[in-house]
Each structure stands twice: as C-alpha cells, then as structure tokens.
Amino acid sequence: MSIILGVDPGFHITGYGILKKEASKISLIDYGCLTMSSTKSLSERTSIFYDFFEQKIQGNVITNVALETPFLGKNAQNFLKLGYLRGILYLLAYQNSCTLHEFAPRQVKQTVTGYGGASKDQVSRVVQQLFASAIKASTFDVTDALAVTLCGVWQQKSREA
C-alpha cells in the first residue's frame, strides 16, 4: 500500500491531493488548497506551509511525495521563492521517510491526458472525470496537484510491475 501526497506549490495558493494505492485500487483520500495571505511575511508563510504539510504527511501516513519540477517563466523572484517551498517538501519527505518523485510539467500532462502540450483546462477535465464522484468544483491548483499525485501513483505501479 502507498499513500501519495502531490503538491502544486505556490506562495498564495498551494494545491494538494492525497491518493491511496492498494493493489490495483486507487482511492482519493484528501484534496484542497492551502491559501496564504500576501500580507504575511515570507517567513510566516514558509512556517504556515511547513506546519500544514507536516500535519498532512503525519496525519495521513504518507509514503511518497510527488512534485512538479519548477518552470522558470518570466519572474525569477517567484521561481526563487518556489524553491523555498520545494525545499520544505524535500525536508519533510526526508524527515518522514517518504520517497520523493519529481515530474516535468510536460510529463504530467502526457501521463494524465496523453498529450504533453495539454492545457490546464484539459488536465482539469481528465482529473475531474477520474474522480467525478469525489471532487467538487476545484481550482487548477487542486487539479494540477491531483495530476502530479496520479503521476506518483502510476510511477509506483510501474516500479511494482
């Protein structure tokens, strides 16, 4: 049995999803967003982030953490700040003996939709179809996190085969 936490980190909104893989069955355990106020200092937000994900990892007995590799884009400051959050997840994975998996954005899209150039909307639709009964209206932050979580689950499957 594996319990995988997938995270789409952001300093304002962080999406996350938790899936349990038992034999060939995949179950949705939890999903949602951590929202942090932009009026809080960087150190306050990193502390909130750490505390939130420490509780998620320990409370759900997480065995694997899945992250999307960062994309530089146009704002180097945002890229740098995302590195802080990623570092926290690396630390939490290590402290809790979790295996860490990273996936390139194109790889996540390819795995979930079958097309590496898929839009966020396309990824969201596939994720919502897979978990239709469990997921209520969700943001791209949540569906992106669940897509990364699925990559972690499916990677576990391929390693067990």
Query: Could you confirm whether 8 is annotated as catalytic?
Result: yes
Pairing relationship of beta strands 13-22 and 25-35 according to DSSP bridges? antiparallel
Place of tokens 């502390």: 47
Whether 141 sits among the annotated catalytic residues: the reply is: yes
Tell me the CA end-to-end span of the chain in Å, nearest whole number.
14
Whole-angstrom distance, CA of residue 135 vs CA of residue 120: 16
CA-based angle 59:60:65, to the nearest 5? 115
For residue range 86-105, what is the model confidence (pLDDT) as tens digits?
999 999 999 999 999 999 99
Q: Which of 24-33, 63-72, 93-102, 130-139 has the lowest mean pLDDT?
A: 130-139
Mean per-residue pLDDT of the chain: 89
- pLDDT confidence bin for 134, thresholds 50/70/90: low
**CATH code, domain carrying 35:** 3.30.420.10
Give the whole-angstrom CA distance, residue 110 versus residue 118: 8
Q: Annotated catalytic residue: which of 8, 30, 44, 144?
A: 8
Give the active site residue among 121, 141, 144, 160.
141
Q: What's the total number of domains in the chain? A: 1
- Which pLDDT band, with edges at 50, 70 and 90, does 24 fall under? confident
Domain span at 126: 2-160
Tokens standing for residue 45? 């937000």
Q: Which of 68, 121, 144, 160 is catalytic?
A: 68
For the residues 93-122, what does the mean pLDDT come to? 94
Q: Is 121 a catalytic residue?
A: no
Q: Which amino acid belongs to residue 152? A: G
Rounded-to-integer distance, Cα 60 and Cα 46, Å: 21
Confidence band of 136 (pLDDT split at 50, 70, 90): low
Write down the pLDDT at residue 161: 44
153 three-state secondary structure: helix
- Name the 3-class secondary structure at 73: coil
Mean per-residue pLDDT for 61-84?
83
